[in-house]
Amino acid sequence: MSYDNELYQQVILDHNRKPRNFHEMENATHCCHGVNPLCGDDITVYLKVDEAEEVVEDVSFTGSGCAISKASTSLMTNHLKGKKIDECRVVFDEFHKMVLGEFEPEKQEHHLGKLTLFQGIREYPSRTKCASLAWHTMVGALDKKTEGVSTE
């Protein structure tokens, strides 16, 4: 019962089944809605940012989508909690480049941790958007994009 591609690993499966930080956030300071029209993935990312310290104190999300998008969002929320805003943008940049095949975590210093699990998505360019939707939405929230973000 396994798949060659590391995409569908236990961790991703687990986060798909039991997504972490999967709830609305009442006292959110930032929020953004993101859609992937091709797949129908539809999520909202909530952030609680301490503006003085420039720290993301809390992250949560709601929505629906495929296993890749759900697990990616869930893992992102865990990964970013407590990080400085600047660090969040660095991780976004590294993650985005990794799924596009432009960044090799095994060869370069990185801040991705477990998120390297999503490297396998590069074999499926049509699905990189499933993995990166959460991240675009998170940056949209930081940038206060009230109109939301779309992968198309």
Partner 1 sequence: MGDAKTISIEKPCIDVDKIRADFPVLSKEIGGKPLIYLDNGATTQKPWQVINRVSQFDSEEYGTVRRGSYRLCENSTRLYEEARQKVADFLGAPTRQEIVFTSGTTQAINLVAHSFGRKFVNAGDEVIISNIEHHANTVPWQVLCEEKGATLKVIPVADNGELVMEEYDKLLTDKTRIVAVNHVSNALGTINPIKEITRKAHSVGAKVLVDGAQSAPHMKVDVKDIDCDFYTFSGHKMYAPSGIGGMFGKMEVMETMPPYVTGGDMIMQVTLGKTTYAKPPARFEAGTPPISQVIGLGAAIDYIGGIGMDKIFEYEKSLLNYGTRLLSDIDGLRIIGNAKEKAALLSIYLESAHPHDIITMLDQDGIALRGGHHCAQPTMIRFGVPATARASMAFYNKYEELDALAEGLKKIIKFFS
Tell me the DSSP string of 47-78. EEEETTTTEEEEEEEEEE--HHHHHHHHHHHH
The residue with tokens 């993995």 is 131
Angle at 112 between CA 15 and CA 57, to 5 degrees: 75
Closest separation in Å from C-beta 123 to partner 1:
9
Residues 43-82: x where in contact with partner 1 by CB under 8 A, - otherwise, as a string? ----------------------xxxx--------------
Number of other CB atoms surrounding residue 90 within 10 Å: 14
Among 11, 23, 24, 38, binds partner 1 (CB under 8 A): 38
Chain residues 106-145 in contact with partner 1, contact rule CB under 8 A: 124, 127, 130
Q: Shortest Cβ distance from residue 77 to partner 1 (Å)?
A: 20
C-beta neighbour count of 107 within 10 angstroms: 7
- 13 counts as binding partner 1 under rule CB under 8 A: yes
Closest to partner 1 by CB, 75 or 91: 75
Amino acid at 101: G
User: Among residues 3 and 152, whose Cβ is nearest to partner 1?
Assistant: 3
Size of the site for partner 1 (CB under 8 A): 19
Number of Cβ within 10 Å of residue 5's Cβ equals 11
The DSSP symbol for 103 reads: -
Site residues for partner 1 per CB under 8 A: 1, 3-5, 7-8, 13, 16-17, 38-40, 65-68, 124, 127, 130
